[in-house]
Amino acid sequence: MRDATAPLVKAAGLDPRNAEILVINDPSINAFVAGGQIVWVHSGLIASADNINQIQGVVAHELGHIEGGHVIRSAEGIKEATGIQLVSLLLGAAALAAGGGEAGMGIMAAGQQAAMGKFLAFSRAQESSADAAGARYLHNAGISGKGSLEFFKKLQNLEYRLYVPQDTYVRTHPLSGDRVAVLSNLYEHDPAWSKPTDPALEARFQRVKAKLVGFVSDPPRTLQSYPTSDQSIPAHYARAYAYHKSAYTEQALAEIDALLKADPHDPYFLELQGQVLLESGKPAAAIPPLREAVDKTGGQPLIATLLGHALVATDDPKYLDEAERVLRNAVSRDRENPFAWYALGNVYQRKGDTARAALATAERYSMEGQAALALRNAEVAMGGIDQKSPDYLRAQDIAMVSRASMERTKKK
């Protein structure tokens, strides 16, 4: 996602180091911004996209909302609509007071309708503005707008199938057909219209999509989308997850063998092999492929956490030092992973370091919003860690933040 959208982020005048494209597990076809420089993409949107160019078109549109400050400016639309509604309420109340019951109620109802119409018109104007901005970013980045049009046509077909009202007045977004008509004129005359997507980027996207579908979809649906007749890399990838989720370990490993035959040292194929072996009760067998995966990804934190889990799950003390090292590196690069802290706490507990086990547990509870438990464990950690150490200062910070959180909750 980062590589596919970096040119668009730059075209929008944003710093790629500050802008993020994050995926959330939601089957609906949607993407949105909610403040800051983050575009949230639903997993359902990725699963429904045919190619990475369609995703680029959607992200370009959402970046238009960020550049336009639309989340902040929504307050302007709400304020105007509220003003209309308040005036209608006052006029309606005056009519009621004068004895005109039906007239008063009619004024109030009309006012509410006018206020809603005003806000919806404001929202549609923002969407059209974001469409135009997205087209500009695609042009400046030298990326074809074909995917953008293809995706709007997908939405248009979906609207027809779901009988979505085609009355512009009652919609927050312009009609998909109208958007296609406006954008077609822009995109088809753009120099990048016939420019193909980088094949390597497209191949990576198809793998990501297959992995995501395998991970979050029901296995029967995954197998329907990627039948056994399909012997492509993405299909093997998706089916491996589907079989694993269905507890068909041998079939899952057979699909992974096909992947590793194509590329024996691909770190993500090795990660998958390690995950299936670990979650099938074979942690020792999972260690070699996970070690290689961690090495080849430069210590990618999520894969490193999986390796740390496998090392701990063997129940063999000889792996504890390695597990501690791997997990400490993982949390130093990604502190927002509760399971990594849980696994690290488990390592410390087995090594008899109760204070640092409590600190890791405090980190986890703090992240999960359980202030009382975070405070309790932070205090245990401070009781057993050298006051001059960074770990003591971290425990002190967690205790302070947790107390403040508990005070705020108490006041509420």
Cβ density class 72-104: b for 16+ within 10 Å, e for less = eeeeebeeebeebbeebbebbeebbeeeeeeeb
At 175 the pLDDT is 59
Over residues 225-235, the pLDDT tens digits come to 999 999 999 99
* Span 26-81, pLDDT tens digits: 998 888 888 788 899 999 999 999 999 999 999 998 898 887 664 444 444 444 44
Q: Token match 């075209």: residue?
A: 11
> Are 366 and 401 in contact, with CB atoms under 8 Å apart?
yes
pLDDT score of 140 = 93
Query: Do 359 and 391 touch, CB atoms closer than 8 A?
Result: yes
pLDDT, position 195: 93
pLDDT at 84: 40
Ranges of the chain with pLDDT below 70 = 68-126, 128, 158-177
Cα gap 87→365, rounded to integer Å: 49
Contact at 8 Å (CB) between 118 and 84?
yes
Residues 135-139: contacts with CB under 8 Å, at least 24 apart: 135/60, 135/183, 135/186, 135/187, 136/11, 137/8, 137/11, 137/12, 137/60, 137/63, 137/64, 138/8, 138/11, 138/56, 138/57, 138/60, 138/187, 138/190, 138/192, 139/186, 139/190, 139/192
Judge contact between 60 and 148, C-beta under 8 A: yes
Which pTM was predicted?
Answer: 0.78
Tens digit of pLDDT for each residue in 125-174? 667 678 888 889 999 999 999 998 888 888 777 665 554 454 444 344 55
Strand partners, 21: 39
pLDDT at position 102, please? 59
Say what the pLDDT of residue 345 is. 96
Cα distances from 224 to residues 10, 52, 269, in angstroms, run: 39, 22, 22
